[in-house]
């Protein structure tokens, strides 16, 4: 039997990193086994499901490179199936119609709560079948005693007391199935062999086991993975800042980094930290999945992202940065210059956006000097040195880094200065600030004409001697 896994998000928002991790595990498991990965949209909550969410989720999955073999199926398209099966359950006596309204139940629930009890609906009220014209829900008739066992690949056998499980609704008043019912029907009819999902569903599983049994379906292998928590150890939510996959995309993260990071949350392979997708597929097994909850570590994703920015081919990074530059209104091409810049800036960037933010001076028509930097380094004392360097550089016929180095060495020697004394003013002249890649690299990227032009501009703004102290 070929392995079939699924990812079944509910479209009530964009793809969450927790959901993404579940998707990744399922995808990895299927790919590792050479099986299929199915995408199913659980949109049975009519009030919360939205069309935009579906789009956002599939977009995010595509961006991550999690391709699915079947789907996206929508539960809302399968209503007739659930209704048919619910009716079969009705006929076989496993389920019954219930006319009690949610309002009535809510009241009972409050009443029980005030007494310190928990309301467990076990068909103890009338109105079950008494009003054939009234709207009703269908409930599963659950056992009153005994235990229900759940076999979990990660946690072993988990035993629940049958009294804990009430006669839960499988088909709502509006004809939509409830989560537990739809999941079972879908997983069974879609021939899902392995269900890998969040820990929060473990408690639902005995209910689902009951449905599987009532329908005489085979129960797939279950694995409940622990949840991802925020830094405060609480379930990860919007309060923790960026939690959606798109938010990371927008911040300039690479899908490789997100996949790598999320895979390592709850799963490991010895001491290895960096994994290509191929390696993940090759190495991923449930055996190496841990049982405890994992805190989402912002610094570590950032580190991974900066690692990928440094190690992915610069052409690729340049291609990804290009649209960001266009957005900034820069007239840039994906050419050799951009690639050279990316090689330098990627050493200093944590995100693609960082590169876009740092790149400005390479393409600026006019350099804007940082005030502090200019005051400190573009001074009358430095003027002769800048002039000297400019003269010598302009005489270079072959403007390469070796030659530039020689010139700087000569100036250093003649004037008995350290490189830092010369490089900083030149840096300010060329970039406007005190932070940049190596000065020779910057000159190499800018090219002779631009370097000379910028040096001359800088020289022109340096006040003559200490006489005048304005402009």
Partner RNA sequence: GGCCCCUUCGUCUAGCCUGGCCUAGGACGUAGCCCUCUCAAGGCUAAAACACGGGUUCGAAUCCCGUAGGGGCUACCA
CA distance 244 to 247: 5
Residue 199 binds RNA (CB under 7 A): yes
Over the window 158 to 177, marking each residue x when it contacts RNA by CB under 7 A and - when it does not, the resulting string is xxxx--x---xx--xxx-x-
Q: Are the beta carbons of 155 and 149 closer than 8 angstroms?
A: no
Q: Cβ 465 to RNA, closest distance in Å?
A: 26
* Total of residues contacting RNA (CB under 7 A): 83
Considering only 83, 353, 387, 424, the residue that binds RNA (CB under 7 A) is: 424
- The β-bridge partners of 161 are 147
Site for RNA, residues 235 to 254, rule: CB under 7 A:
235
In eight-state DSSP terms, residue 23 is: H
Among the residue ranges 27-35, 64-72, 386-394, 439-447, the one whose residues contact RNA (CB under 7 A): 439-447
Considering only 55, 213, 288, 410, the residue that binds RNA (CB under 7 A) is: 288
| Main-chain phi, psi angles of 429, to 5 degrees | -60, -40
Half-sphere exposure of residue 146, counting CA atoms within 13 Å on the CB side? 7
Instruction: Give the chain's length.
Output: 471
Distances (CA, A) of 466 to 5, 378, 403, 456: 76, 12, 33, 19
Which position among 110, 238, 326, 406 bears the catalytic label? 238
Of 2 and 111, CB closest to RNA: 111
Site for RNA, residues 71 to 100, rule: CB under 7 A:
100
Sequence-distant (6+) residues with CB within 8 A of 252 are 305, 324, 351, 352, 353, 354, 355, 356
Considering only 303, 361, 363, 399, the residue that binds RNA (CB under 7 A) is: 303
Half-sphere exposure of residue 164, counting CA atoms within 13 Å on the CB side? 11
Considering only 418, 464, 466, 469, the residue that binds RNA (CB under 7 A) is: 418
Site for RNA, residues 336 to 395, rule: CB under 7 A:
347-348
Q: Cβ 285 to RNA, closest distance in Å?
A: 11
Q: Determine whether 108 is an active site residue.
A: no
Considering only 67, 435, 447, 449, the residue that binds RNA (CB under 7 A) is: 435
Task: Tell which residue, 228, 191, 293, 267, has the closest CA to residue 32.
Answer: 267
Distances (CA, A) of 289 to 137, 172, 266, 381: 39, 36, 6, 64
Residue 118 binds RNA (CB under 7 A): yes
Of 73 and 176, CB closest to RNA: 176
**What are the catalytic residues?**
238
């Amino acid at each position: 039997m070929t392995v079939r896994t699924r990812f079944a998000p509910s479209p009530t928002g964009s793809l969450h990193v927790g959901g993404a991790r579940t998707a990744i595990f399922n995808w990895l498991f299927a790919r590792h086994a050479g099986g299929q990965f199915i995408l199913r949209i659980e949109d049975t909550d009519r009030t919360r499901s939205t069309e935009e969410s579906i789009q956002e989720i599939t977009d995010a999955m595509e961006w991550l490179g999690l391709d699915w073999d079947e789907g996206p199926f929508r539960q809302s398209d399968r209503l007739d199936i659930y209704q048919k099966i619910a009716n079969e359950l009705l006929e076989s006596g496993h389920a019954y119609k219930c006319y009690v309204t949610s309002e009535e139940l809510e009241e009972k629930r409050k009443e029980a709560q005030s007494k310190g009890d928990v309301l467990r609906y076990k068909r103890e009220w009338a109105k079950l079948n008494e009003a054939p014209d009234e709207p009703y829900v269908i409930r599963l008739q659950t056992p009153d005693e005994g235990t229900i066992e759940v076999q979990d690949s990660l946690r072993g056998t988990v035993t629940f007391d049958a009294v804990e499980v009430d006669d839960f609704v499988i088909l709502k008043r509006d004809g939509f199935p409830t989560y537990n019912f739809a999941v079972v029907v879908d997983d069974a009819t879609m021939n899902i062999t392995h269900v890998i999902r969040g820990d929060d569903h473990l408690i639902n599983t005995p209910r689902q086991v009951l449905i599987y049994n009532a329908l005489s379906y085979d129960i797939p292998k279950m694995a409940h993975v622990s949840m991802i928590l925020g830094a405060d150890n609480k379930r990860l939510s919007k309060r923790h800042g960026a939690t959606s996959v798109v938010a990371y995309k927008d911040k300039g993260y690479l899908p490789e980094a997100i996949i790598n990071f999320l895979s390592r949350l709850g799963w490991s392979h010895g001491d290895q930290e960096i994994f290509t997708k191929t390696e993940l597929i090759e190495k991923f097994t449930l055996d190496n999945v841990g049982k405890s909850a994992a805190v989402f570590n912002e610094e570590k994703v950032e580190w991974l992202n900066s690692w990928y920015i440094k190690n992915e081919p610069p052409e690729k990074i340049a291609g990804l940065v290009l649209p960001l530059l266009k957005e900034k209104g820069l007239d840039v091409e994906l050419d050799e210059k951009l690639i050279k810049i990316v090689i330098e800036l990627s050493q200093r960037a944590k995100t693609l956006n960082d590169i876009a933010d740092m790149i400005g001076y390479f393409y600026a028509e006019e350099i804007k000097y940082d005030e502090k930097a200019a005051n400190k380094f573009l001074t009358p004392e430095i003027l002769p040195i800048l002039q000297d360097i400019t003269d010598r550089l302009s005489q270079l016929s072959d403007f390469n880094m070796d030659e530039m180095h020689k010139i700087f060495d000569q100036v250093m020697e003649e004037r008995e200065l350290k490189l830092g004394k010369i490089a900083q003013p030149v840096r300010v002249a060329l970039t406007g600030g005190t932070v940049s890649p190596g000065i020779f690299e910057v000159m190499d990227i800018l090219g002779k004409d631009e370097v000379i032009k910028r040096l001359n501009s800088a020289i022109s703004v340096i006040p003559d001697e200490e006489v005048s102290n304005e402009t």
